[in-house]
Structure 1
Amino acid sequence: MPWKLNLNSRKGAEAEKTALLFLQQQGLTLLHRNFACKTGEIDLVMLDHATLVFIEVRSRSHSQFGNAASSIDRNKQRKIRKTAAVYLQKYRQHSHRICRFDAISIDNHDATGQNSLNWMKSAF
């Protein structure tokens, strides 16, 4: 039975949509959303000119456990790198490209629901 990604987080999907729109406004081009395989999942795969960018999107409603960016630990980074390797094997037309790993963190800082978006290029 093939592996399948379960997208059941509405909030996570909204954060990814917000991040995607922001990055497109910055000139990046979407290649894939939610690329998934047995090793893990990459939220967004985009082109920044000739650079292939693998993007992890994190969102936090409360800061009691740290901000959204702090939730991308070494284990998650390792999974993203392994998944990126699978992506490059599957989409060989991009194997010549320079790759970058970015992160988008979206944090809710107050009771008004105002979110802050932080784009970290070359996050890991």
Structure 2
Amino acid sequence: MSRSRGSEFEARACRYLEQQGLTLLARNWQCRFGEIDLIMQDGSYRVFVEVRARHDARFGGAAASIGADKCRKLQAAANLYLSQQGGASRCRFDAVLFDGDAPPVWLKNIIS
């Protein structure tokens, strides 16, 4: 997927989450471990959001594209972000998935 297309889905995911009451803290936060698509606040939780889009749900769709390696990188990046923000915070890892023309799917706590 092209960078501009990815940015389009990240913007859609951000709007969707803001409609659900979350507040955007950062977008495309980068570090040596990779990039966090969206960092949101949901009440007392810092939410690290992975946005994935696929043309259709064949071969597992957007959800199947988030593997163990991606989860490890996301956790490492989130730990660095939290340490730079002054310490521990309650956090969780969510995903917003787009499969074809279907509405977005918001998965909470994708990493336990």
TM-score in terms of structure 1 length? 0.84
| Distance in structure 1 (CA, Å) of the matches to 2:108 and 2:60 | 20
- 1:122 counterpart = 2:102: no
Q: State the superposition RMSD in angstroms.
A: 1.2
Give, as a single letter, the amino acid of the residue that structure 2 aligns with 1:15: F
Match of 1:102 in 2: 94
Kindly provide the CA deviation profile for residues 40-65 of structure 1, in whole angstroms up to 9, marking residues without a partner as x: 11000010011110000000013343
Structure 1: 4+ residue segments shifted above 3 A: 62-65
Match of 1:52 in 2: 46
Match of 1:62 in 2: 56
Match of 2:14 in 1: 20
Q: Which has the higher helix share?
A: 2
Give, as a single letter, the amino acid of the residue that structure 2 aligns with 1:103: A
Return 5+ residue gaps in structure 2 as ranges: none
| Distance in structure 2 (CA, Å) of the matches to 1:9 and 1:65 | 22
> How many positions carry a matched residue from both structures?
110
Report the secondary structure of 1:122's partner residue. coil
Report the secondary structure of 1:19's partner residue. helix
| Distance in structure 1 (CA, Å) of the matches to 2:96 and 2:104 | 7
Q: Tell me if structure 1 keeps the 8 A contact 2:82–2:89.
A: no
Q: Which has the larger radius of gyration?
A: 1
| Distance in structure 1 (CA, Å) of the matches to 2:17 and 2:28 | 15
| Distance in structure 1 (CA, Å) of the matches to 2:94 and 2:62 | 13
